A and B are shown apart, each in its own frame.
Chain A
């Protein structure tokens, strides 16, 4: 039965409508993963040197034993954020003559096929073979390896268990993340205890008491079994597709009423962003980007050319991260928009208004950067004008060339849906355009003022000539409308 499931899964992957188109994307992703694995292998091989540098006083094996549990603690945290729940679409099998056990076994088993399970092996096994096997003998090396595997499997199923619980009740996720962070803080910040000592307590004695290896193995088996039972009990349709049963309420944005129809469109789009998983994570990422400046500005040697980029990202990351998939966000009801009384000009004006609102909010939030001088704020303001005048139009120009739909309900991490050539092309003008103006003018004038003035002026011209750009974009859209709408219908 399991082999049938695997066959179906493979078919589902290859026959998905967007597989053929995004094969290039898969290759790029595969190369990135290979690169990361190679890096991990490198770290694994030279771990003895790293450990020597980090803890020059301690014995190699002692310091190695100390870091293992710390690694697993961080791994658990990142697994909870990034690892995806294995999903066989079980619905079509539930009513067939397929036992629940075989379904659940498949679900639980395929959970092992995650890249996360490779990391610890690649990181630790080279060291174990290089150092532990030599110093302590084969048996010790074997039990070390078995323990590493045991802990990974335990971690794997623990993370999935928490995620599954969290999908029924969102608080579980918050509380367990908080616990993990507190455990970490307890050691590194408050020094209440030392995880290294705990780690050593186990791994240090592993060499002399090989039977201790049973602990991680039993933990792994117990966790697997807990997962298995939990899945089996919850294999009901309404629980698999459980939505939070919060009462959904009608929301209004009185501020936007002043803008009439366009305001209504913006209100709808704000709801789209807030009420759907993927766009709302795009918004959260933009919030994180507000701290982008802190990374660079602490360095007093940083040039103003860098501030241009930082300013552009901080005030405009939303335009880029959300705008690059436009109008794919609305793919689900694009037909509806096309036949409704919304004229495309209004549709575009609403996009401009949305971008203006979000960028303005982002600019206001970056005002505390005045700590680094008024000139920094001025550069942010110039890039804010540039974002509104130039980048919005560039983004919308590329939006007319994008016909990939986006499933709003899926998360953003490792989600490559909707990514295509358009997004790659889009990044070029966005990143380069300010420098094409900045560098020659700086060489010409010898100072930073002239290029900044020109960038600000161009931004302002862009804002005041929006009507003209909207007209061009509308004409351009009508040439491509059918292709876009057809792409969006293609699920």
Chain B
């Protein structure tokens, strides 16, 4: 479904993303992990044609995302609040997104009714603009608008970061369900190793712009990852290497 070839991005003479080759097959569920500044968000942005790579290309269904717009028809993504139109009420925003996919208001309402557990009564009919919602509730709006698009490819950047434990639990189930039952390819980044190893079948570990590990999830994955991050942590503390915090990273 996605093929990345020789993708590089440079900020201030520092290579922040450097991926010689990566292939994501249809129906896979992928978890992207890595410390701050590893290049996760930058990679996402390049996959969504939001920033121009120095070299290389991202192919979605065999077509370069840069210069084409077909991928927009089957890709839904939520990276940060910048993806939401914050002066609309959540309902208005959902109707707008639904309208883009030729869904009537009744259809949108019906779909949203199915998400009432996920919303937990905090989103719809609250009489607030999106900008007045808390960050966690904004995330819920973003994720719900992605699901509303019935995508074939779903990309979420740190979806678990600001939401409460109950919603995290529900979100995990939803992600598993659309992957298993509807065959949606999911790509989720997270700092929470428990969550990604729970949801995703394949884990990509990024460090300083490279994918240094690409593994299928099994019972030992979590401990393997924990080991990596624990050591990484120690090394940083010892020789206090200057870490390039990615300026695009926006948490």
Contact = CB atoms under 8 A, between A and B. Distances in A.
Contacts of A336: 82-85
B169 to A, nearest CB: 27
B91 interface: yes
B88 interface: yes
B82 A335 contact: yes
Given A250-B91, A486-B51, A339 B96 contact: no
Contact of B129 (A268, A275, A333, A340): A275
A332 B82 contact: yes
B115 interface: no
Nearest to B89: A250
B129 to A, nearest CB: 5
Contacts, number: 80
A436 B91 CA distance: 49
A410 to B, nearest CB: 14
Contacts of B73: 341
Interface in B30-80: 45, 48-52, 67, 69, 72-73, 75, 77, 79-80
A339 B87 contact: no
A336 B77 CA distance: 9
Contacts of A248: 89, 127-129, 132
Contact of B48 (A275, A276, A332, A338): A338
A251 interface: yes
Interface string B114-150: 0000000000000111001000000000000000010
Contact of B49 (A243, A272, A338, A343): A338
Interface string A332-352: 111110111111000000000
Given A248-B89, A261-B100, A336-B85, 6 more contacts: A250-B89, A272-B87, A333-B85, A335-B79, A335-B83, A341-B73
Contacts of A276: 87
B92 A251 contact: yes
B82 A489 contact: yes
A180 B79 CA distance: 50
Contacts of A485: 50-51
A6 to B, nearest CB: 29
Interface string A259-296: 00100100010011001100000000000000000000
Interface of B: 45, 48-52, 67, 69, 72-73, 75, 77, 79-80, 82-89, 91-92, 96-97, 99-101, 127-129, 132, 149, 248
Given A248-B128, A336-B82, A341 B77 contact: no
Counting chain B CB atoms within 10 Å of each CB, the highest count among A261, A336, A478 belongs to A336
A249 interface: yes
A333 B73 CA distance: 19
10 contacts: A248-B89, A249-B127, A250-B89, A250-B92, A275-B87, A275-B129, A332-B82, A332-B85, A341-B100, A478-B67
A48 to B, nearest CB: 54
A247 interface: yes
A260 B248 CA distance: 35
B50 A271 contact: no
Contacts of B129: 248, 275
Contacts of A335: 45, 48, 50, 79-80, 82-83
A286 B84 CA distance: 28
Interface in A236-253: 243, 247-251
Contacts of A478: 67
Contacts of B52: 482
Contacts of A140: none
A268 B94 CA distance: 12
A251 B91 CA distance: 10
What 8 pairs between A and B have smallest CB-CB spacing? A247-B127, A336-B83, A482-B52, A341-B100, A275-B87, A335-B82, A339-B48, A333-B85
A396 interface: no
A489 B85 CA distance: 14
Nearest to A265: B96
Contacts of A250: 89, 91-92
A408 interface: yes
Contacts of B48: 335, 338-339
Given A478-B67, A482-B52, A340 B72 contact: yes
Contacts of B100: 261, 264, 340-342
